[in-house]
Chain A
Amino acid sequence: MQRRNFIRTTGAVGTAGIVGLAGCADDEPGDEGPADDGAADDGATDDGATDDGNGGDDFPTDDLTWMVPWSEGGGTDTYARQVAVPMEEPLGQSITIDNRPGAGSLAGSEWLSTRDPDGYTFGTINSAGAHFTWRANEVEGWHIEEDFDPFAYSGVFGYTLIVNNDVADEYGIDDYGSLRDAYQDGDIENFGYQGAGSDSHLTTLLLRDNYGLEYGNEVPYDGGGPTMEAVISGEVAAGFATNTSAVNAEESGEASAIVNLMDIDLTGTWPEIDRIDNYGDSLGWITEFTLTQLAPAGTPDHIKETLSDAVEHAVESDSVQQWSEDTGNIVQYGDVQESEDLWYGIVEQMEAEVDAAIGGFDEFLALAQE
């Protein structure tokens, strides 16, 4: 009974956990990641431009395309598919999900930035993960902030620290303080993160420099799935997992989530979980990801409002609320203003934070390539 409750309250995390997981599995050579069905969707965009390209009041008059920059079955995709159906009712048009995975979400984001700003094509990009990926990869030709108009957000997820249960039992690790002590004492050595040069790598360095996590060996893995697997198997004592993946890790019986690295509250899922901001400043700017809905820059305000209202309607619908309750995915609506607040100025803030902590992005990237 207790286990079932655990699943119902957290599981989601479940499906979104697959955000990290499916995203990571994409590169697995044995089975290339699933893809897209929306090649023909451009037609809707073009039609829309014709019908309502000037932002007429009758928007929308044609089908809409929702770009997801990750594969089908991943967490972001699952969110989108849950929300898309109830969104169709107020809009009076059908919505086609168009998965455009690749380059850590940059491929789909770049594609979205080049669409007509008519509201008929919009997408979900996760702030601030996408900001970091864009900045770390020194992308030129388009801007992660300037080329988009955010109009809503619909959910949030982010990083936790998980620890192998055998290790935790042996050294009495149940919070960040005891994890830090175990590394400092040399009881444990290896710490796993999700790829050199990634946001989790930067967080790893910040944990070492600002939060006293003196791991002996930082070990990069090819994404979230392999990192979680390494902790479960005991190859590394502790490592990163999104709150969604951490539920899987916990349910495996081989690992436990002990530290919430985000600002959002996870005690509904893990009543005893420790918070990193008990040991220093918030790390939410790099560890928390908001599922932000965006249209290409220049989309008329009334169209953004229409889309935002539809997202709100969908997020508050019985089906999405029930899904959230059943799976534990955190569903949360933010309006145009709130989503803009979480979208603009993030790159600048990140650069300032990285400057202060590491000395700048160049220094960070140099460290990543060592």
Chain B
Amino acid sequence: MTVETFLGAIDALLTFDTMVWLLAGVIVGIIVGGLPGLGPPLGMAIILPLTIPLAPADAIILLVGVYSGSMYGGSIAAILINTPGVSSSAATMFDGYPMSKQGRAATALSVSATASAFAGLFTITALILFSPVLIELVLAVGTPERFLVALLGLSMITVITRGSFAKGLLAGAAGLLITTVGSAQPIALERRYADSLLLFDGIDFVAVLIGLFAIAEMMKLAGQEGGIAEGEVTIDRAGIKEGIIETVKRPVTVFKSGMIGMVVGAIPGAGATVSNFVAYSEAVRASDDPDSFGSGNVEGVVASEASNNGTVAGSLVPAISFGIPGSSSTAVLIGGLLMHGLQPGPSMFQVGGELSLTYTMLLALLVGNVVILVFGLTAVTRLGYLTKIDTDYIIPMVIVLSFLGTYALRVNPMDIITIIVFGIIGFYMVRYNYSVIAFVLGVVLGDIAEDNLYTALQLSGGTYDIFYNPFAHGRPLSFLLSVAIFLLLFGPFIKARVERFRGE
């Protein structure tokens, strides 16, 4: 009986030991996520061997606690020092950091904690209630759909580009070009300089992000007196309260972004970074004041942070229902399940199987989001004081942490060069008004688009109708995604024409 199983899961969760592991996991996750470059996979992998003595439920709760906490923790560095703590917090920088510069770091951190927690709460609840639907979604999304999701993300360049449209397209194309370096696995093409193994896996996009944002910003700050905040820094209850209110006033953005995170997160191979940019771009598209994004619009922080925590719920679906690791984080989670004698599969959602453990894990994530909310509002917001510290101290710290964190990810010296090169490129892109966001979208989505385009065309025998003809290959979702891309690209022109026609 499902209700009995659910009540049993609550009982299992509400024990002292389990709650301690959950708390420890979330807090460790927040710390790991907050360090530049490091992210959930590394945090979970370090914790993994330490879970061996634990009971299976406690071990899995500890791991998902780290996962969830890291997703939120990434926003801290993004907001305070313009560095993506995790790649899925990259979009948080666009408006979170300008808020810090305005002396509103505490409000931004408060928005981040509230949006993350609310999105986490309702997406986990949705997963508990609608997991069968999401399982079907995972099976319905194949290679052509993944290409179209990437294309949808790239189409967002038209929405988020401010100023010269040509410069936006150029930046996006340059980002795509970066992803052509290295091996393209489905194609067996080697595209690297002098056959260096350092470039075998291409240019790491996390290093690109850290260079573009953290290093470029530190170069800019080097010429600035005082702290990061250009005005008075306010860390008081009013600022924190403002963050909560600003988030609560945007239920549609929280809901929509959380759902984008959940759905995109459920697609193996897409991941939190993609959902992060898609949700942010959608917030820009839907806004009445799109020009205010990038200069401290709270809505941007809400959208970004709601989406990445929503991704946690979505990514669990392919991982625990099919054993498909959609990302490195869930690969480590599956490793944890197996290490403790649990086999991912439908039995994880069946009463006679491991449903009790699944419920316990999901309920733990619910409680974990409450921990994020409380810890985020009470402790993390105090970190806003960092923006008052003189840049003479901040700059070397950020640079050292950025290099260390990025190097630790792959232990590849090429990433050090990448940070430096893209730090300089980012600095000049901002100076000459080239869209850094468009560039990043190209870098994040290029690999997904290329690999899946090639494989999809292999599936269709080389014909492109697999992307738009719902009858030829039985892929209605491809057709719908193609329509969405068409509307995104041409909707504004069509709308203007229609309005002009009506006006006449």
Q: Is A27's CB within 8 Å of the partner chain B?
A: yes
Q: Which 5 A/B pairs are nearest by Cβ-Cβ distance?
A: A30-B271, A248-B323, A72-B45, A197-B188, A196-B188
Select which of B183, B270, B412, B461 is within 8 A of A30 by beta carbon. B270
Q: A29-B444, A35-B42, A253-B346 known; A103 and B188 CB under 8 Å?
A: no
- Taking the closest CB of chain B, its distance from the CB of A117, in whole angstroms, is 21
- Taking the closest CB of chain B, its distance from the CB of A350, in whole angstroms, is 17
Select which of B195, B206, B268, B322 is within 8 A of A248 by beta carbon. B322
- Among B268, B329, B410, find the residue whose CB has the most chain A CB atoms closer than 10 A: B410
Closest to B327 in A: A31
- Are A251 and B344 closer than 8 Å at their CB atoms? yes
Closest to B335 in A: A73
Q: Among residues 209 to 227 in chain A, which have CB atoms less than 8 Å away from a CB atom of chain B?
A: 217-223, 225-226
Q: What 0/1 pattern do residues 150 to 187 of B give for CB contact below 8 A with A?
A: 00000000000000000000000000000000010111
- Are B412 and A25 closer than 8 Å at their CB atoms? no
- Among A3, A35, A225, find the residue whose CB has the most chain B CB atoms closer than 10 A: A35
**B326 CB contacts on chain A under 8 angstroms:** 25, 28, 30, 225
Q: A28-B327, A235-B143 known; A221 and B39 CB under 8 Å?
A: no
**Bound: A247/B454 CA distance, A:** 28
Q: Is A147's CB within 8 Å of the partner chain B?
A: no
**A99 CB contacts on chain B under 8 angstroms:** 411
Q: Is B274's CB within 8 Å of the partner chain A?
A: yes
The interface size of chain A toward B, counting residues with CB under 8 Å, comes to 82
Q: A26-B328, A365-B188 known; A35 and B334 CB under 8 Å?
A: no
Closest to A12 in B: B338
- Are A107 and B331 closer than 8 Å at their CB atoms? no
**B347 CB contacts on chain A under 8 angstroms:** 3, 251
Q: A30-B88, A31-B329, A235-B143 known; A368 and B188 CB under 8 Å?
A: yes
**Bound: A17/B337 CA distance, A:** 12
**B412 CB contacts on chain A under 8 angstroms:** 102, 107
- Are A139 and B338 closer than 8 Å at their CB atoms? no
Q: Is A317's CB within 8 Å of the partner chain B?
A: no
**Bound: A33/B43 CA distance, A:** 11
Closest to A250 in B: B345
Interface residue stretch chosen among B120-128, B197-205, B423-431? B197-205
**B330 CB contacts on chain A under 8 angstroms:** 25
- Are B201 and A102 closer than 8 Å at their CB atoms? yes
Interface residue stretch chosen among B94-102, B224-232, B445-453, B483-491? B445-453
**B45 CB contacts on chain A under 8 angstroms:** 34, 71-73
**B187 CB contacts on chain A under 8 angstroms:** 196, 220, 369
**Bound: A26/B138 CA distance, A:** 20
Q: A25-B325, A29-B273, A34-B328 known; A7 and B188 CB under 8 Å?
A: no
Select which of B41, B143, B345, B451 is within 8 A of A32 by beta carbon. B41
**A71 CB contacts on chain B under 8 angstroms:** 41, 45, 328, 331
**B385 CB contacts on chain A under 8 angstroms:** none
- Taking the closest CB of chain A, its distance from the CB of B360, in whole angstroms, is 18
**B271 CB contacts on chain A under 8 angstroms:** 28-31
- Are B335 and A18 closer than 8 Å at their CB atoms? yes
Select which of A31, A139, A254, A327 is within 8 A of B273 by beta carbon. A31
Q: What 0/1 pattern do residues 194 to 219 of B give for CB contact below 8 A with A?
A: 01011011001110000000000000
**A39 CB contacts on chain B under 8 angstroms:** 407-408, 411
**A238 CB contacts on chain B under 8 angstroms:** none
